[in-house]
Amino acid sequence: MEFVLNALVMGYRPLWNAERNLGGVQLFLHDDPDTQVDTAHLLRILREMWAPSSPLLLLSPQSLRLLQALLSHITPNPAWALEVRAEWLADHPELHTSVALAAQRGVRLVWRGSMNQLPSTEEANHYACSLLHLEPQDALILMRAAVDQPVPQRLALLEGQMYEEIHSQTLARRCLEHYHASAIAGWPTDDVLHRVRGARVLHPTHEHVLRLMKAVDADQSLETFEEILSEDPLLAYRFMLYANSAALGARNPINSLRRALVMLGYGTLKEWLATQLTHASHDKDLQPIRLSTVMRAQMTSHLLDAGVSQELRSEVYLCGLFARLNDVLDEPLETTLTRLPLSERIPDAAIRGEGPYAPSLQLAFALERENGAATIRAVCEEHDISLEHVNRTLLRLACEWHNQRPRW
């Protein structure tokens, strides 16, 4: 039997709670029809890597065979919940028995399906929560209805559940704030950015500007400054623009956050931060977009060979952090990146899909998709990257991401 982390292709999707913080991580698990997965070993790895501060993991098997194997071996554990798809239950009646037995053992199960095909009351008792999606025409009706306006009974959302395929900021807010959804799987990024860009210029988050000002006042380390800057792509981008501006008259191009911090000094940094604080954003709907970008940057840098220097790893992190700035700034990425004297390796990867950073960035993007398995396999085969390395990197980071436990 092949080692379990080489026998699977994994991916992930963040689960966002009402505070727009990470409430959990949905782990997509793709198995190969020709390979038997040692699910007991997989669960043991997850148990060992997870910590009490880790987010809850929603295990999302992408085949019926893998679901059946997990139902046989999974035990109650605060680390995880197991997703069960409605269409598999409908097509395979024998699956209900396995679900009932797992529920009797105390395993946290999540029913995933359409609002139009909810389980019976008896079946619903087996599940701790549901991951629901609306049919497009129903979602449109809810989007157009005011929050206090009655909607058809069949469209009344269930409180305390999780929802997916939410492409509207209005509907996301309705789910989280009116129906107290435990989480939104994914985030309506395009709609949020479209609405914000239509109203004003995007600015860094108030929280991060203020955190950095306090860190400077407390005379903390350059590493701390760099870490805070790295958690907001707009703040990092604007800081590097400022460091390279004609007003500062830098003699040589500044191509990293660390070098910019060293060259500017505390006094100049504090003055610049004060100007940023005036217009900093308090929009909490932008937080999942920012955090998703940080996750992608972490993934990109950690997927690179472990032997590279910290300076090089920071450069790869910037590649992942800036790779979708065009979505935020609403302009071609080439225009965005050419304003900075970055290493040519960054635009090579982010714009042209070439160079040494391209495989890591391509994997980081593919890991964010439920249907990214084929791309992940192709990139790994082309660049001689082991699936074990990719999966272990994903699991390690997923277990390190900040925990804001959902209510389920």
CB 130 within 8 A of CB 408: no
Other CB atoms within 10 A of residue 361 CB:
27
pLDDT in tens, 321-339: 999 999 999 899 999 999 9
**What single DSSP character describes residue 45?**
H
Report the predicted TM-score, pTM, of the whole model to 2 decimal places: 0.93
| Gap between the Cα atoms of 265 and 271, Å rounded | 10
pLDDT at 168: 92
CB 333 within 8 A of CB 326: yes
Confidence at residue 154, expressed as pLDDT on a 0 to 100 scale: 66
Cα dist. 346→79, 243, 310 in Å? 36, 19, 16
The count of other CB atoms within 10 Å of the CB of residue 41 is 15
Compute the distance between CA of residue 93 and CA of residue 289 in angstroms, rounded to an integer.
40
Report the C-alpha dihedral over residues 332, 336, 342, 345, rounded to 10 degrees: -20
Share of the chain above pLDDT 90, in %: 77
Residue of 309 and 239 predicted with greater confidence = 239
Is pLDDT above 80 for 383? yes
pLDDT tens by residue, 161-183:
999 999 999 999 989 998 899 99
Mean pLDDT rounded to a whole number for the chain: 91
pLDDT at 406 over 50: no
Q: What is the pLDDT of residue 175?
A: 92
Closest CA to 367 of 314, 305, 296, 302: 296
Give me the pLDDT at residue 155, please: 67
Instruction: Determine if residue 256 is left, alpha or beta; phi over 0 gives left, psi from -120 to 50 gives alpha, anything else beta.
Output: beta
Which of the four pLDDT bands, split at 50, 70 and 90, describes residue 266? confident
47 pLDDT more than 60: yes
Of the candidates 107, 113, 17, 31, the one whose C-alpha atom is nearest the C-alpha of residue 65 is 31
DSSP E strands in 148-260: the ranges are 162-164, 183-185
CATH topology for the 4-187 domain: TIM Barrel (3.20.20)
Distance of CA 189 to the CA centre of its chain: 12
pLDDT band at 157; cut points 50, 70, 90: confident
pLDDT in tens, 120-153: 999 999 999 999 998 888 888 777 775 556 666 6
Domain boundaries, the chain: 4-187, 206-278
Q: In whole angstroms, what separates CA 257 from the centre of its chain?
A: 23
Residues 98 and 72: beta-carbon distance below 8 Å: yes
**What was the pLDDT predicted at 197?**
76
- CA distances (Å), 253 to each of 263, 266, 284, 322, in order? 11, 20, 34, 18
% of the chain beyond a pLDDT of 70: 92
> In this predicted model, what pLDDT tens digit does every residue of 200-257 receive, in sequence order?
678 899 999 999 999 999 999 999 999 999 999 999 999 999 999 866 766 788 899 9
Q: Is the pLDDT of residue 296 over 60?
A: yes
